[in-house]
Chain A
Amino acid sequence: MTLTTKNQRPARDPWNVGFGVVASIAAFFTLLIWIPNDIKGGFIEINQIGKPEPGDAFFPIILASLMLVLSTGQLVGAVLSSKPQEASGKLTAHNLKFLFLFYTIVLAGLTVMYWLGPLVVDALRSTGVIDSTYRQLVDTAPYKYLGYVAGGFLMTTGLIAWAEGSIRPQAVLTVAIIIGALILVLDILLYNIQIPPNADF
């Protein structure tokens, strides 16, 4: 097993094989478990005038079967190929770490976006400052902006800080202007539109 250049892989590229394996398993799972358990109609059904017509499972079964055939072909081709294969892309541990960090920051921002407003309103309500619920205040400033501003700010500046290694004043200013512009356009200038998370309450 020799490598000649960095763009070449040995005949059996594990990523090509892996893709075939994952796709084959997914197709098998879909055909044998997902479709039978999650589609009420059949493959072919007899209509009211006694003629056969395709049921709800007709097209999904055709697609899953095609996927099985193709992924098996991909797998067999990748395993049996005697010719050196062109390097396919790959997912590294670094990529997965990035995805994890990215989603952590985004989900943290979205969590704040969703919960900050209701939590602040609950706190104010319990101290007797206001007597309304968040649901009653989803169209009242400043409550309706709390989550969006704080969550959006956290998510965006968090990603910038992580990507740049630091946070610069112009980045903070840019984010503040963008959030302000989005609120201005979507909430103040337009009617019947709710910015996150207010439509969920």
Chain B
Amino acid sequence: MELVWEYIVRGVMGVFFDANGAFDIIPMAMVFSGLMLGIVVGATPGLNGPFAMALSLPILISVFGVSNEALLPILGFLIGLMKGGTIGGAVPAILFNTPGTPDAFLTTLDGYPMAQKGQGLKALKISHFSSACGDTFSDIVLFLTAPVLAVLIENVLDLPEKSALIILSLSFMAAVAGKSPIKGLIIGILGMFLALMGSTLSGNGARLTLGIDALGNGLPLTSAVIGVLVIGEVFLALEDTARDRLSKLKAAVILPEGDNSFGLKDIRQIMPRICTSAAIGTMVGALPGIGTTLAATLGYDAAKRLSKHPEKFGTGLPEGVAATEAANSAVSGANLIPVMSLGIPGNFAAVFLILAVESVGDFTLGPSVFRFTAIKEIADYGTIINKDLVVAFGIFTLMVMGNFFNWTVGWWLMRSLGILARIPKTIMMPVVLLITLTAVYVQDGGFIAIWVVLAFGAMGYVLRRLEISILPFVIGFILAPKLEELIRGGYSASGGDALFLLKSPLAVFFMFTAILIVVFVSRQSAGKSESRNR
């Protein structure tokens, strides 16, 4: 226990003090500014947390560099953005019936009627309180479960089992993230394949470069992911708004005229719904591939089922706002459970945290992080310590700080952002495009990054139009090098046994479950469409 405490203290200290022992305000300031910007971004229709993370990452890397010291400030900003983005989405949802983020759609159901009754400010207070509760709860679950899970995984899983676990995660994501699991898997494999371009593990020279020298170092990872995620969305939003000519949001601010007080009585009223939703959001967030929207839907549904007056939901009920906001915010902490314990990103926000970790410093996410190596001072050598574990506790500290700022000052920003809902997408999206192209250019230092972004943007657009989830593609793209390493290592370690993945009962279980999930979800989708057609 003493050792655990020692690592925690070092992790916390690492956030507040630099390598020379001097007080360092930068990581704290980065969390604060990330949270503030995240709330602003979330409150702007068309933008969301992962969007802002995508745009910020190249700029942050340009500003802070790629040394180990840069990691905590960069992660602090991204964590702040992630948290703020979820909270801010409620502002236009409540005031203008326009969800700032997709998961805030359900907030409109009761939030907007409350605003129409003159209780907009109260709805915002409930939303902020519920979000902060959900977020804090899921962070606590993350802090407690990720290390335990990681230690278990590290002790129990060997190369074949780890490979099988990644395959299971990808299959799960492909199955749940889109309409067709088979298409999701095909797209996931395509993402993995493209990630191999320009790499080599045998020293035989860059592979799959199509003869293009510029691809000798592989496709720029961040540019490719940003292309699919951001530019694909920019295409889609611009096309839709151009078609509809929705250049202006014709909504008026509902002025607070009714009862906007929010006290202990209200907290007692909404607390049971917050607890249920926070638990639901945390469970959903811990599973890779399931987003905040489903968490909000399940949270709202559960609140309705448990309510004594379900018929009042949708008419401006504080419990409705609380249930959706607690659920979608609880996802943000929990989605780091697979990231921290397995190194597998479960959603887009986690993708950018992984990208940051892969681009900056020598920290690696995954089960090996939580190895509590005995700390030893050796004369003339230095300290033997698991530095990754110290960074992991530093990341947890950043998350606690994010929650602290959210509880204390998040509300003051949130209440003043109604105006942002009036920014038309037709202006926002081209501006986002310019910022994206500039950001990837300054990070990769050349037009090649811009061409990659545009090419992957077209791919993202086509996939969205074909209603195929892009999540398996992105996750496959990121996990491919790791999976290749594990599979090659497992094959070599087995002495060239082609069936090495089926030699361990646990690996067989993971592989069998992966197949079962895909088959089950495929049959379920087929069944659904059949029953709809009857």
A→B interface (CB under 8 Å)? 4, 7-8, 15-16, 19, 23, 26, 30, 34-35, 38-41, 44-45, 51-60, 62-64, 66-67, 70-71, 73-74, 77, 83-86, 88-91, 95, 98-99, 102-103, 106, 110, 114, 148, 152, 155-157, 159-160, 162-165, 170-171, 174-175, 178-179, 182, 185-186, 190, 193-197, 199-200
Contacts and interface: CB of A to CB of B under 8 A. Distances in A.
A70 B238 contact: no
- Most chain A CB neighbours (cut-off 10 Å) among B186, B429, B442: B186
B426 interface: yes
Given A8-B533, A99-B235, 12 more contacts: A30-B193, A35-B208, A51-B495, A74-B182, A86-B529, A86-B532, A98-B239, A99-B461, A157-B430, A163-B247, A171-B426, A179-B434
A106 B458 CA distance: 12
B502 to A, nearest CB: 14
Given A38-B208, A56-B202, A73-B182, A178 B434 contact: yes
Contact of A4 (B200, B239, B437, B533): B533
Contacts of A95: 239, 465
Contact of A160 (B427, B445, B454): B427
A164 B466 CA distance: 25
A38 B209 contact: yes
B447 A102 contact: no
B163 to A, nearest CB: 11
B382 interface: no
B450 A164 contact: no
A77 B492 contact: no
B193 A60 contact: yes
Interface in B209-257: 209-211, 235, 238-239, 241-242, 245, 247
Given A41-B204, A58-B488, A186 B442 contact: yes
Contact of B207 (A40, A45, A74, A89): A40
Contact of A106 (B190, B433, B530): B433
Secondary structure of the B side of the interface? Answer: helix
Ordered nearest first, which 8 A-B pairs have the shortest CB separation?
A: A89-B467, A86-B529, A159-B430, A52-B496, A40-B204, A163-B242, A41-B204, A163-B426
24 contacts: A16-B180, A39-B208, A51-B492, A53-B488, A56-B200, A56-B207, A57-B207, A60-B207, A62-B487, A63-B193, A64-B193, A74-B182, A74-B183, A86-B529, A89-B467, A89-B468, A90-B465, A98-B242, A106-B433, A106-B454, A157-B430, A164-B426, A165-B245, A182-B434
Interface string B46-79: 0000000000000100110000000000000000
A35 B424 CA distance: 46
Contacts of A110: 437, 447, 450
- Most chain B CB neighbours (cut-off 10 Å) among A7, A91, A160, A170: A160
Interface of B: 59, 62-63, 179-180, 182-183, 185-186, 189-190, 192-193, 196, 200-202, 204-205, 207-211, 235, 238-239, 241-242, 245, 247, 424, 426-427, 429-431, 433-435, 437-438, 441-442, 445-447, 450, 454, 458, 461-462, 464-468, 480, 483-484, 487-488, 491-492, 495-496, 525-526, 528-530, 532-533
A15 B247 CA distance: 32
Given A86-B528, A110-B450, A164 B247 contact: yes
B262 to A, nearest CB: 35
A188 to B, nearest CB: 13
B488 A74 contact: no
B430 A41 contact: no
B63 A190 contact: yes
Contacts of B205: 40
Contacts of B430: 155-157, 159-160, 163, 175
A19 B186 CA distance: 10
Given A44-B496, A59-B487, A164-B245, A156 B239 contact: no
B437 A196 contact: yes
Given A40-B205, A59-B484, A71-B186, A196 B447 contact: yes
A157 to B, nearest CB: 8
Nearest to A92: B465
Contact of A200 (B447, B466, B528, B530): B447
Contact of B438 (A84, A89, A98, A186): A186
A53 B433 contact: no
Nearest to B182: A74
A200 B446 contact: yes
B431 A175 contact: yes
A54 to B, nearest CB: 4
A41 B207 contact: yes
B190 A67 contact: yes
Contact of B435 (A7, A53, A70, A178): A178
A87 to B, nearest CB: 8
A70 B185 contact: yes
Contacts of A185: 59
Contact of B525 (A58, A86, A199): A86
Contacts of B467: 88-89
A175 B434 CA distance: 9
Nearest to A97: B239
Nearest to A181: B435
B466 A88 contact: yes
Given A41-B200, A88-B467, A195 B488 contact: no
B463 to A, nearest CB: 9
B441 A60 contact: no
A56 B206 CA distance: 9
B41 to A, nearest CB: 15
Contact of A194 (B196, B435, B445, B461): B445
A83 B526 contact: yes
Contacts of B241: 163
B182 A171 contact: no
A38 B183 CA distance: 26
Contacts of A39: 204, 207-208
Contacts of A62: 487
Given A58-B488, A71-B186, A114-B447, A171 B427 contact: yes
